[in-house]
Amino acid sequence: MKNDIVTLTIDDIGTNGEGIGKADGYTLFVKDVVVGDIIKAKIIKEKKNYGYGKLLAIIKESKNRVISKCTVAKQCGGCQIQHMNYQSQLQYKQNLVKGNLEKIGGLKDIEVLPVIGMDTPYHYRNKAQYPVGIDKEGKVVIGFYAKRTHCIIDNTDCKIGSPTNQTILEIIRKYIIEQNISIYDEESHQGILRHILIRNGYHTGEIMVCLVINGTKLPYCEKLIQELVSISGMTSIMLNINKDKTNVILGKECKTLWGQAYITDSICDITYEISPLSFFQINPIQTEKLYKKVLEFAQLTGKETVWDLYCGIGTISLLMATNAKKVYGVEVVSEAIEDARNNAKRNNFNNVEFFVGKAEVVVPQFYEEVSRKVMDGNEEAMQSLNPDVVVVDPPRKGCEDILLDVIVKMSPKKIVYVSCDSATLARDLKYLVSRGYEVMRVQPVDQFCHTVHVETVCLLSKLNVEHYIEVELSLDEMDLTAAESKATYEEIKAYVKEKTGLQVSNLYIAQVKRKCGIVERVNYNLPKSEDSRQPKCPPEKEKAIIEALRHFWMI
Ligand code: SAH
């Protein structure tokens, strides 16, 4: 009953970090607890089968509980599980991924590898954005928004940000007070200073400070610059103009106050220019571990064609390009693609090509258009349609079905799925498994320590044709259905015969369909290897079959 005070043991943690326990058989969700805690809670919301409780007291602390390093961890919306010891955090994240793969993906017997964690899971973020405000007493506050509010909790000592941030922020606070700088007020849309963005280059030690202002000039900024440049590593001091009445932090325009307009950093020895607006992975140590897994899963030898979908500034694309023949990257943010192209140039890559647009639009369009070129026997076009590896790294909502569908048609031997949401990952894996792929490896990586988020890199392989193939199999014996092929083999044969007078075999049709990226059922489509002794479709017959496939709208 609502307002009842109950005692319960926490025996699980939910997807948002909330503790789960039973009080007299009734399931309660309670925040700020860990597995093993015995607690007293007040029921604050009651539903038929479960309710929400407010933690009143911890009767017996779990051995998994630690004292948060951050004194405002509970109020701040950033770290949801800092009170859980790190080993338990990793275990929780492994269970989360496993649970989602089972429940949402229906993938019961898949091993989820232990989460790759950090040796020191603090001060890992290379980017921080601090809102600036005035509290009720008129004091300047710089810190973070409290959970689901726009109330700023004063805190310049964030335990997951860079330690120098505190020095920078205190210099700015002193400047605001001494120079009487007006602070932006969301309600009235008045005041100048809105946010402070700080970026750090992990390998280079370079620092960028960017002040987000509601205006075009920051008064007396020379004084501020003078102080900031004394900090070792200071490379770039910028203004970002945001005059919009919005809670989007950054505006589109940037001005350089001092130094460069960007800092540089590297990931796996490839260097990048990072401007205030660039997307860049926020945990550099774990990003390298994550990317190395992507590379390990892709098993490149230098001959491969690779697609990197949702490529951002091309970090995975370039890493792949170090050991692939050709890499194609797709990303919806045009500025990110501009960065990607510059990064490719900067690092002397000439085997990458980038496309701007939604992956679910660009890739199907590309597939349609290039299918036509394939008819002219364009070798590169053929390989782009039938890549060896496709990497996807979508935002939380995962991939659209239309994209997964075209990936399946492209028939890559491997798909490497990098996910920041294991629920949508599970949904998409289920789809890919139903279309002939097998989940080979699931490796979570802890990119966001102390939060409930977990990154997962997953390897899928096209079902191993070597186990199924019978090279000598007469293709006439196969039971093709309309679901697998828009036109049956007989229809294609009849069309070719009528148009050209040529006789073509099922084997030739299968070969050409594969060349055009049409997926066949796994047990009959492929020769074991390129040098197996199958007759190869002669060019004039290939041309005729392609005409037929076009006629039936199959390519
Ligand atoms: N692979 C990159 C970026 C991953 S973040 C890296 O490791 O740094 C996901 C990226 O997907 C973002 O850059 C986002 O802008 C982009 N994105 C979001 N929706 C997209 C879509 N529908 N098509 C293509 N890119 C998209």
> Would the CB of 361 count as within 6 Å of ligand 1?
no
d(CA 407, CA 417) in angstroms, rounded, equals 12
Q: What is the 3-state secondary structure (H, E, C) of 206-243?
A: CEEEEEEECCCCCCCHHHHHHHHCCCCCEEEEEEEECC
Q: Which of 332, 343, 418, 447 to mutate to test the pocket of ligand 1 (most atoms within 8 A of CB)?
A: 332
Does residue 312's CB lie within 6 angstroms of at least one atom of ligand 1? yes
Which H or E run includes 50? strand 50-60
- For ligand 1, pick from 266, 286, 310, 456 the residue to mutate: most ligand atoms within 8 Å of CB: 310
Q: What is the pLDDT of residues 41-65, one digit of tens each?
A: 999 999 989 999 999 999 999 999 9
Under the banding of pLDDT at 50, 70 and 90, the label for residue 486 is: low
SS (H, E, C) 307-345: EEECCCCCHHHHHHHCCCCEEEEEECCHHHHHHHHHHHH
Integer Cα distance of 352 and 340 in angstroms: 10
Query: Ligand 1: which atom is nearest the Cα of residue 280?
Result: 8
pLDDT band at residue 379, thresholds of 50, 70 and 90?
confident
Q: From the CB of 555, is ligand 1 less than 6 Å away?
A: no
Higher pLDDT, residue 97 or 376: 97
Task: Return the closest-CA partner of residue 270 out of 253, 291, 255.
Answer: 291
pLDDT digits (tens, 9 = 90+) for 249-281: 999 999 999 999 999 999 999 999 999 998 899
CA dist., res. 139 & res. 549, Å (int): 72
Q: How far is the CA of 188 from the centre of ligand 1 (A)?
A: 34
Exposed / middle / buried, residue 293 (Cβ in 10 Å: 0-12, 13-18, 19+): buried
pLDDT of residue 459: 98
Q: Residue 332: CB within 6 Å of ligand 1? A: yes
Measured in degrees and rounded to the nearest 5, phi and psi for residue 132 equal: -115, 140
- Residue 407 near residue 415, CB atoms below 8 Å: yes
* Residues 127, 150: Cα–Cα separation, whole Å: 20
> Counting beta carbons within 10 angstroms of the beta carbon of residue 465, is it exposed (0 to 12), middle (13 to 18) or buried (19 or more)?
middle
| 402 three-state secondary structure | helix
Percent of the chain's residues with pLDDT above 90: 76
Residue 464 pLDDT class (50, 70, 90 cuts): low
* Residue 7 predicted with pLDDT over 60: yes
Q: Is the CB of 310 within 6 Å of ligand 1?
A: yes
Cα-to-centroid distance, 331 and ligand 1 (Å): 6
Whole-number Å distance, alpha carbon 412 to ligand 1 midpoint, is 20
Q: Check if 181 has its Cβ closer than 6 Å to any atom of ligand 1.
A: no
Count the residues in the chain.
555
Over residues 94-136, the pLDDT tens digits come to: 999 999 999 999 999 899 999 999 999 999 999 999 999 999 9
Specify the range with the lowest mean pLDDT, choosing from 14-18, 103-107, 296-300, 387-391: 14-18
CA distance linking residue 77 with residue 387, whole number of Å: 42
CA 415 → CA 306, 385, 462, distances in Å? 10, 14, 8
pLDDT band for position 499 (cuts 50, 70, 90): confident
Mean pLDDT is lowest, of 125-134, 393-402, 464-473, 480-489, for: 464-473
Q: Measuring CA to CA, which residue among 221, 143, 146, 215 is closest to residue 178?
A: 221
pLDDT at 491: 83
Q: Lowest-pLDDT range, 24-33, 84-93, 239-248, 473-482?
A: 473-482
Residue 474 pLDDT greater than 60, yes or no: no
Cα(403) to centroid(ligand 1), Å: 14
With contact defined as beta carbons under 8 Å apart, do 485 and 512 qualify?
A: no
Asked if residue 519 has pLDDT above 90, the reply is no
Task: Give pLDDT, residue 513.
Answer: 82
Give the tens place of pLDDT for each residue, 326-356: 999 999 999 899 999 999 999 999 999 999 9
C-alpha distances (whole Å) from 206 to each of 76, 260, 519 are 28, 11, 49
Cβ of 395 below 6 Å from ligand 1: yes
Q: Is the pLDDT of residue 525 over 50?
A: no
Pocket test for ligand 1, best of 292, 331, 358 (most atoms within 8 A of CB): 331
Q: How far is the CA of 310 from the centre of ligand 1 (A)?
A: 4
Residue 359's CB: how many other CB atoms inside 10 A?
Answer: 24
Average pLDDT, the chain: 90
Residue nearest to atom 3 of ligand 1 (CA): 312
421: Cβ below 6 Å to ligand 1?
no
Prediction pTM value = 0.81
Q: Is 459 in the pocket of ligand 1 (CB under 6 A)?
A: no
Distance 366 CA to ligand 1 centre (A): 18
Question: Is any atom of ligand 1 closer than 6 Å to the C-beta of 354?
Answer: no
Catalytic residues: 420
Lowest mean pLDDT among 156-165, 498-507, 509-518: 509-518
Say whether pLDDT at 484 is over 80.
no
CA of 358 to the centre of ligand 1 (A): 9
Chain-centre distance of CA 163, in angstroms? 26
